[in-house]
Amino acid sequence: MAITSDKDKPNFLNQHLKSIIFLLGVLIFAASYFLLWQPAWRKIKTDYSLSVIKERETVLATKKKLWQSLKDTEEIYLSISSEAKARVLEFLPRDQELPNLYYNLDQLAKAAGYKIVTLVVNQETDEETNEKDSAPKKGLQTLKVNLNLEGSGYQNLKNFLSGLENNLRIFDLESLNWDPSDTSFEVSFKTYYYLPTAESPGSSNLPGNANIGP
């Protein structure tokens, strides 16, 4: 039977020192993981999950508000009478309605004692719109009107401008070139229409711009 003397203990420690240090390191790492890192990681995951849940709840609440707003708008629209909807189309038509615009302005001019010399109507386009794309975007559209009238008299001018202001179709005055000594004057203004859906090129019988005169 072999007997281990005290002199052999240092040799044993020297031979197994690396293994003992490695084992102690593993034990310390395991203890740190379970006692420190794992609880901290769980807290991080919990906080992240709560943040994601809160963000999704906020998005959902926003969508619910938007949906309710759309429902309220739809109910308001459905409650409007057909007669009221027809009047809306008179000041914001669903197309350019150039013939009606020409007739309307001609009647206003005659009522004020003027005669239309030239009438130029142009479709106003967004500067960012691609020039190659001839299809107008849906939504509110703007027509720019340049009008040259023959006649004189300050009162007649006031009557004409009052007719523009009180007309059912919206006219926004941009410029007025009037001289009491002249027998004609120029006026520029904008009017509008609304496209509920985007039209394809050539789908409308009305041109994008027009010019009439003697």
Q: What is the pLDDT of residues 97-155, one digit of tens each?
A: 899 999 999 999 999 999 999 999 999 876 544 455 555 567 788 999 999 999 888 89
Tokens coding 184: 């004609």
The two structure tokens encoding residue 51: 């943040």
Model confidence pLDDT, tens digit, residues 60-108: 778 778 777 767 766 776 777 777 766 666 667 888 889 999 999 999 9
CATH of the domain spanning 89-126+137-212, picked from 2.40.50.100, 3.40.1160.10, 3.30.70.60, 2.40.50.140: 3.30.70.60
Q: What is the pLDDT of residue 147?
A: 94
- The pLDDT value given to residue 48: 62
In the numeric block, the tokens 């309710």 are attached to 68
Residue ranges of domains in the chain: 17-79, 89-126+137-212
What is the residue whose two structure tokens read 């429902």? Answer: 71
The whole-angstrom distance between residue 22's C-alpha and the CA centroid of its chain comes to: 65
Q: Give the integer Cα–Cα distance in Å for 54 and 47.
A: 10
Q: How confident is the model at residue 211 (pLDDT cuts 50, 70, 90)?
A: very low
Using DSSP, state whether 184 is helix, strand or coil. strand
- Rounded (10°) CA dihedral 132, 134, 137, 141: 120
